[in-house]
Amino acid sequence: MKYLKFLIINTWMIAAVHTSCARSKSSSEPAPAAEPTATNEDPSSTITANAGADTTVVLSNQSVTLSGVDSNIGSKSVTYAWVQTAGTSVQLNNANSVSPTFATTNIKATESLTFQLTITDADGVSVSDTVVVTITVLTISGTITYDLINHTNASALDYSNIIQSAIRGATVELIDSSDSSIAETTSSDASGNYSLPAYTGKSYVIRVKAELKKSDAAPTWDFTVVDNTSSQALYVMDSATQTVSATAITLNLNASSGWNGSSYAATRVAGPFAILDSVYLAKEKIISADADAVFPALKLNWSINNVATSGDLSLGQIGTSMYNGTGVYILGAANSDTDEYDGHVIIHEWGHYFENVLSRSDSIGGSHSISQKLDLRVAMGEGFGNALSGIVTDDSYYRDSSGNAQGSGFAINVETNPSSSTGWFSEYSVQSILYDLYDSTNDGSDNLSLGFTPIYNALVGSQKTTDAHTSIFSIATYLKAVSPSNASAIDTLLASQNIIATDEYGSTETNNGGDARNLPVYKTITIGGSSVELCSFATNGSYNKLGNRQFIRFEITSAGSYTFTANGQVGGDNPAIYVRKQGAFVFGSSTAGNESTTQNLAVGKYILEAYEVTNISGSRTTCMDVSISAN
C-alpha cells in the first residue's frame, strides 16, 4: 500500500488490504522518486486516490459495490473515473461516481478482477489507485452416468452385470427453481463430468438432457433422443432441488434402468441415455476422420411402446428399428424386442442417416438378411451399416437382444468372412470387406489395416458423385484410388469374396450370383440402336433381391428429347423403368403393361433401372426389350 502524498484514512465499504497507487500529471512524469517537487504545492491542493480495499465476494445475484474515497479534496472540484484493468469484463454502472457497482452474472469461475480509480482535480492533476475484487464461484458439479446393460455371450441382456457408464457430451442445465428459467448450460465431458456456476442463496434443479448439441463452429452436431409416442418430447433426467449456501455442491446423478431383478418395474430413465451414448461414439468416430464434420440435426425416436408392428409411428408402431429418411426409430417394447442397449443396431441405423446426409446411398431399403442375394445398392447400404457398428465400437459382434425378459438374441460377427453366397450382392460380403479394410486383426485374406479415415474419405468423396449406383464396386474403386499402394491387397480381399472391382460399374465382374442374366451388372445400350434385353425375376425373393431389378448405363452427349420404351416379351408382362443421375431421380414410368415415355434430358451419364412390377411383392419372370431413341 502506498499513498502518494498525505495519507488520509477513510472508511471504505470493502475492507481489506490495498494494492497500489500511482499518480500522474502527464505521461512523461518521472517515477515516484522524483515526486518531492510536488511538496512545494499547497497541501490543501493535493489530492489522493483510494480505490478501497481488496476483497473477496461469493458469486450471487447481488451486484458488487466498489468504494472509492474522497481524499483530501478540500474545496476542490474533482472527477472520478473507474475502469476495469484485469479479469473477465464486467459492466460498471455509474463508473464516474465514487462508488460504482457491477453485476457478476458473466463470471463463471473463481477469478480476480482489477479496477482502477482515477481522480482528477480542476487543475488536471490526476491520481489513481487500484483494487482487486476476487469473485468466488460456488459450483454444482459431479458425474452423470446411466445403467449400461451389456450382453451375455448368447446376446441376451445381462442384468446381473449392470455398469454405471458415463453420459458423455450431454447437455446439462442449471434450472433456477424460483422461476424454472435456465440459469446455466454446459455439456458433460468424455468422463461424464459436469460443473455449473451457481449463486449462493439460490435453489436449483440439475437437468440432464438426452441430447448432444454443438453449434458454435465446426465440427457441429445436433442429436436428440425423443419420445415418438409423446409428441417427440425430449427425454431428460432431473435432480432433486439443490440449495446453494456457503459451499460448493457435489452432485452425481445416475439414470436408472428401472429393472427390479425380474422386470422393468420403474421408469426406464437409462434407455434414452444408452441410445445417446451409441450416437456419441459414432459421432466421435466420424470426427476422428474429419475434424470439421457438420452433422445435420437428427432425432432418435424411442419409446417403451415402440413395437415390431408397422403402423402409426406416433403410437409406437415402428415395425423395426429403422431410419426412414427423416429420423431414426428404435424399438423399446419389453419382453418382445428392445434395442436401446443393442448399440450395434442403433449405430447401423445411424449409419443410414450418415449415408443419407453426408455420403450417398442409392439403396431402395426393404427387408434383408445376411444370407440373401440382394440388389447391389441394398447390399452396400446394409453391409456398410453393419460394418460401421463394428468400426465405431471396435467390437465386431453385432448383437440384437430380444424375447421375454430380453433373455435371448442373436449375433453377427462382422469380422467373419462368409464362404458361401459371396459376391457384390451380399451384405455379408460387403460388411466383412469394409470391416477388414478397417481393422487390424488379420484373418483370411485380410492383411490390411487402413483405419477409418480412407473409408470415410471415399464415402464422403467419390462415392457421393459416382455415375454408377452406390455399391461395393464404387467404394472399392475409390478406396483403391486413394490408397494405390494397397490396391492389390484390396483386390485380394475382394477376390476372397468373389468380387472383381476394376471400375465403379463392376464392368469385369464374372460372378453372376447363380444366374447369367445378372451380368453384366450394368448393360450398355446404343441410343437409336437395337433394343437391349433385360430380365426381371424373383428367384432370390422380391422387391430388393438380386435379379428383381436390372440396370442399363447410358450417356447423353446432346441435350434434347429422347423416347424410352420397355416392352415385355410375353402377354401380361408389366415392366416399369426409372432413370437416375448420380443417384438422383430423373424420371420414372410405370403404367399398366408396356412403357413408352418421352423425356428431355441434359448431357450426362445416367442409369436406367427396369423391373417387372409384380416382383415388388410377388414373383414373375419378365424379359423385356428396352430401347432409347433421340427425337
Q: How far is the CB of 370 from Ca ion (least distance, A)?
A: 16
For the bound state, the minimum distance from the C-beta of residue 479 to Ca ion, rounded and expressed in Å, comes to 13
* Dihedral sign computed on CA atoms, order 460, 464, 465, 468: positive
Helix (H, G, I), strand (E, B) or coil at 597: strand
Is the CB of 204 or the CB of 543 nearer to Ca ion?
543
Alpha-carbon span 549 to 570, nearest angstrom:
18
Selection from 120, 88, 123, 82 nearest residue 104 by Cα: 88
As measured in angstroms, the least distance from the Cβ of 346 to Zn ion is: 11
Among Ca ion, Zn ion, none, the one that 375 touches (CB under a kind-dependent 5 to 8 A) is: none
What does 184 interact with, of Ca ion, Zn ion, none (CB < 5 to 8 A by kind)?
Answer: none
Interacting partner of 401 out of Ca ion, Zn ion, none (Cβ under 5 to 8 A depending on kind): Ca ion
Q: Closest CB to Zn ion among 158 and 382?
A: 382
- 327 Cβ contact list (under 8 Å, min separation 6): 228, 298, 299, 300, 301
Q: Which does 123 bind (CB under 5 to 8 A by kind): Ca ion, Zn ion, none?
A: none
Considering CB distances under 5 to 8 angstroms, the limit depending on partner class, which of Zn ion, Ca ion, none binds residue 574?
A: Ca ion
Pairing type for strands 126-136 and 55-58 reads parallel
Tell the smallest beta-carbon distance from residue 363 to Zn ion (Å). Answer: 8
Non-local (6+) Cβ contacts of 139 within 8 A are 195, 196, 197, 198, 248, 249
Nearer to Zn ion, 80 or 329 (CB): 329
**CA-closest candidate to residue 423, choices 385, 380, 366:** 380
Q: Does 211 bind Ca ion (CB under 5 A)?
A: no
- Does 340 engage in binding with Ca ion (CB under 5 A)? no
- We find the least distance from the C-beta atom of residue 573 to Ca ion, in angstroms, to be 8
Decide whether 377 or 553 has the Cβ nearer to Zn ion.
377
Nearer to Zn ion, 385 or 575 (CB): 385
- Compare residues 339 and 509 and give the one whose CB is closer to Ca ion: 339
Task: Report how far residue 144's alpha carbon sits from residue 190's, in angstroms, rounded to the nearest whole number.
Answer: 11
Phi, psi of 560 (to 5 degrees): 165, -160
Cα–Cα dist 519/237, whole Å? 56
Q: How far is the CB of 366 from Ca ion (least distance, A)?
A: 20
Minimum distance from residue 156 beta carbon to Ca ion (Å): 10
Grid cell 402409426 is found at: 312
Q: Using CB under 5 A, which of the segments 67-75, 294-302, 396-404, 490-498 binds Ca ion? A: 396-404
Minimum Å distance from CB 402 to Ca ion? Answer: 5
Secondary structure letter of residue 124 according to DSSP: S
Q: Which of 277, 400, 427, 504 binds Ca ion (CB under 5 A)?
A: 400
**Residue carrying the nine cell digits 440396370:** 551
In the complex, least distance from residue 225 CB atom to Zn ion, rounded to whole angstroms:
19
Q: Within 172-201, which residues bind Ca ion (CB under 5 A)?
A: none
For residues 106-125, which are near Ca ion according to CB under 5 A? none
The binder of Ca ion chosen from 155, 239, 401, 474 (CB under 5 A): 401
Residue 402 binds Ca ion (CB under 5 A): yes
Of 137-145, 332-340, 532-540, 598-606, which part binds Ca ion (CB under 5 A)? Answer: 332-340
Q: Does 342 bind Ca ion (CB under 5 A)?
A: yes
- Residue closer to Zn ion, measured from CB, 385 or 547: 385
Residue count, binding to Ca ion (CB under 5 A): 14
Of 18 and 348, CB closest to Zn ion? 348
**Which of Zn ion, Ca ion, none does residue 129 bind (CB under 5 to 8 Å by kind)?**
none
Contact 449, 439 (CB under 8 A): yes
Is residue 175 within 8 A of residue 206, CB to CB? The reply is yes
Output the smallest distance, CB 598 to Ca ion, in A.
16
Contact between 339 and Ca ion per CB under 5 A? yes
Choice between 206 and 345, CB closer to Ca ion: 345
CB 380 within 8 A of CB 455: no
**Binding segment (CB under 5 A) for Ca ion, from list 50-58, 109-117, 163-171, 400-408:** 400-408
- Residue 439's binding partner out of Zn ion, Ca ion, none, with CB under 5 to 8 Å set by partner kind: Ca ion
Report the alpha-carbon distance of residue 475 to residue 484 in Å, rounded: 14
Smallest gap from Cβ 274 to Ca ion, in A, equals: 12
Contacts of residues 281-288 at CB distance under 8 Å and 24 or more positions apart, as own/partner, are 281/343, 281/347, 281/392, 281/393, 282/347, 282/350, 282/351, 282/354, 282/388, 282/392, 283/169, 283/212, 283/221, 283/223, 285/391, 285/392, 285/452, 286/354, 286/358, 286/456, 287/219, 288/452, 288/453
β-pairing, 253-255 vs 138-151, is parallel
> Phi and psi for 493 in degrees, rounded to 5?
-65, -45
Which does residue 339 bind out of Zn ion, Ca ion, none, counting CB within 5 to 8 angstroms by kind? Ca ion
What is the footprint of Ca ion within residues 419-448 (CB under 5 A)?
A: 436, 439, 441, 443, 446, 448
Distance of CA 373 to CAs 155, 453, 547, 551, 620, Å?
Answer: 26, 29, 9, 16, 17
- Supply the minimum distance, in Å, between the C-beta of residue 385 and Zn ion: 5
Binding window for Ca ion (CB under 5 A); candidates: 180-188, 221-229, 333-341, 377-385: 333-341
Q: Based on the number of CB atoms within 10 Å of its own CB, is 76 exposed (0-12), middle (13-18) or buried (19 or more)? A: middle
Q: In what order do the strands lie in the sheet with 584-589?
A: 522-524, 549-556, 604-612, 575-581, 584-589
User: 110 with 134: CB under 8 angstroms?
Assistant: yes
CB of 518 to Ca ion, least distance (A): 22
Nearest to 375 by CA among 537, 553, 590, 577: 537
Residue choice 574, 615, 622, 627 for contact with Ca ion (CB under 5 A): 574
Helix (H/G/I), strand (E/B), else coil: 21: strand
Which residue, 342 or 382, has its beta carbon nearer to Ca ion?
342
Please list, in sequence order, all residues whose beta carbon lies within 8 angstroms of the beta carbon of residue 31, skipping any fewer than 6 positions away. none
Beta-strand relationship, 298-302 and 328-330: parallel
Question: Which parts of this chain interact with Zn ion (CB under 5 A)?
Answer: 382, 385
Applying CB under 5 A, does 614 fall inside the site for Ca ion?
no
Tell me which of Zn ion, Ca ion, none is bound by residue 573, counting a contact when its beta carbon lies within the kind-specific cut-off of 5 to 8 angstroms: none
Taking CB within 5 to 8 Å according to partner kind, which of Zn ion, Ca ion, none is near residue 385?
A: Zn ion
> What is the smallest separation between the CB atom of 196 and Ca ion, expressed in angstroms?
36
The contact set with Ca ion (CB under 5 A) reads 337, 339, 342, 400-402, 436, 439, 441, 443, 446, 448-449, 574
